[in-house]
Amino acid sequence: MKNRIRVLREQKGLTQEQLGELVGTSRQAINAIETEKFEPSIWLAYDISNVFECSIEEVFIFDESPRKSRAESSRRVSNGY
């Protein structure tokens, strides 16, 4: 999932480690989210957005994801559509 975490984090002067500490996760997890290798839970996304005093939609860009598309196409095949 695309996001603006790096930009917002740098604007606040936070390192990945500091942001991780504020939201109760590791620097590695923050890095994985920033680089779109990991999608956070809704609770972690909420906590991250609170740190930046933004809505979740301002931090995360909810475009059509390949993961969602694969799931939908799988359901169509299994349902015979």
Q: Sketch the domain layout of the chain as residue ranges.
A: 2-78
pTM, full prediction: 0.76
What distance in Å separates the CA atoms of residue 36 and residue 3, rounded to the nearest whole number?
Answer: 8
CATH 1.10.260.40 fits 2-78, yes or no: yes
pLDDT digit string (tens) for the chain, length 81 residues: 899 999 999 999 999 999 999 999 999 999 999 999 999 999 999 999 999 999 999 999 987 655 555 556 556 655 555
Task: Give me the DSSP letters along 35-77.
Answer: TTS-PPPHHHHHHHHHHTTS-HHHHEE-PPPHHHHHHHHHHHH
What distance in Å separates the CA atoms of residue 77 and residue 74, rounded to the nearest whole number?
Answer: 5
